[in-house]
Amino acid sequence: MTYPLKAAEVQPQLTAAEAQQPKPRRFNGLGRWAFVLPVLILNLIVVVIPSITGLAVAFTDWTGYNIPSFVGLKNFERLFQDEIFFLALRNNLTWTLMFLTAPIAVGLLGAYILSTIKRGQMFFRVMYFIPYVVASVVSTQLWRQLLHPRVGIGAVLGDMGIPFLDFPIFGTRETALYGVAFVDAWHFWGFLVVIYLSAMSAVDTELYEVARLDGATRLQQFRFVTLPSIRPTLVFTILMIIIWSSTTFDYVYMLTQGGPANASELMSTYLYDNAFNRFDAGYAATIGMMMSLWVALAVAGFVYLRRRGWEI
């Protein structure tokens, strides 16, 4: 009498070719760490060690050349009594608000218009993206000449009887910060167009068909279909703009160097001035800690809202 074999007792028969093939080797824990270790070492050298060093320098009096001397919280006491720092902080807040409004609005508008174009869309994508890849040095020199009060657009309009821009925009306290923000936004908004256009391309077209059948206008389709569908991308760009606004440096430094009379001073340019012009590295590290706190608060705010159930 024979009994049926159990599944575990049935051994598959391998062919000769399969038997000769080498068995795949499984990486053990050490093998997996070997792939991760170079990135961890690079992150340790580039990020962790400089961050800890900067934190330590903030509690010292150091010119960058001499031996650092511990001064405790004196740099922080000086910071909270520094009128220029609070002016730079206010300019950073103004800068952030400007970039959270105009570039995002223009980027959304440009992306929505491009999403309706079926032929030649790639050409317009490239044209909008070109300013973003142009070097900041080239952009600043270009706009410095275009907005020059004697040889730029303002001078041409002045000769035509339209005295509108025939004054030094970057040399006037009331307009210096806004002039630099305009140049930076001109270079930045094309990047937002491409990002938002990619998100809009992934929106289900059936949603637009249903909205049109319900009698929704183009504006209503954008408000009730497009914006909710690209919300994750929109929130991501808002977070990135808040973070990038705290470290904005190149356009301000090349066009105004924080002037005139600190009118366009930002925390980054004020940090640079203290570190490399006044050789006060300890105080500059304290300003850097405030910039890091800015970013930490922004990230913490978004994490808090996500935990509260916000769809961001």
**Domains defined along the chain, listed by start:** 78-307 (1.10.3720.10)
Poorest-pLDDT segment among 65-74, 87-96, 264-273? 65-74
pLDDT higher than threshold 50 for residue 30: yes
More confident residue, 28 or 253: 253
CA geometry: angle 219, 225, 230, nearest 5 deg: 110
Confidence of residue 7 (pLDDT cuts 50, 70, 90): very low
pLDDT given at position 115: 86
pLDDT higher than threshold 80 for residue 12: no
CA geometry: angle 57, 60, 65, nearest 5 deg: 75
pLDDT digits (tens, 9 = 90+) for 106-153: 999 999 888 888 888 888 888 888 999 999 999 999 999 999 888 888
More confident residue, 7 or 70: 70
With contact defined as beta carbons under 8 Å apart, do 88 and 265 qualify? Answer: yes
Poorest-pLDDT segment among 156-170, 193-207, 278-292? 156-170
pLDDT given at position 18: 53
Task: State the number of CA atoms in the 13 A half-sphere of 12 facing the CB.
Answer: 5
State the pairing for strand pair 69-70/60-61: antiparallel
pLDDT digits (tens, 9 = 90+) for 199-213: 998 888 898 899 899
Q: What is the mean pLDDT of the chain?
A: 87
pLDDT higher than threshold 70 for residue 6: no
Poorest-pLDDT segment among 1-15, 98-112, 126-140? 1-15
pLDDT given at position 310: 73
More confident residue, 224 or 20: 224
pLDDT given at position 17: 54
User: Average of pLDDT values for 262-285?
Assistant: 94
Task: State the number of CA atoms in the 13 A half-sphere of 72 facing the CB.
Answer: 3
Residues 6+ apart with CB under 8 A from 190: 110, 128, 129, 130, 131, 132
Closest alpha carbon to 266 in 50, 94, 135, 98:
94
- Side chain identity, residue 270: Y
Q: State pTM to two decimals.
A: 0.84
Residue 34 CA to residue 39 CA, distance in Å, equals 10
Residue 280 CA to residue 78 CA, distance in Å, equals 12
Give the three-state DSSP class for 145. helix
pLDDT given at position 8: 47
Strand segments, DSSP code E, in the chain are 60-61, 69-70
pLDDT given at position 21: 59
* Residue 85: alpha-carbon gap to chain centroid: 22
User: Average of pLDDT values for 293-312?
Assistant: 84
- As given in the structure block, the two tokens for residue 154 are 């303002």
Residue with tokens 């304290």: 286
pLDDT digits (tens, 9 = 90+) for 229-248: 999 899 989 999 999 998 89
Confidence of residue 160 (pLDDT cuts 50, 70, 90): confident
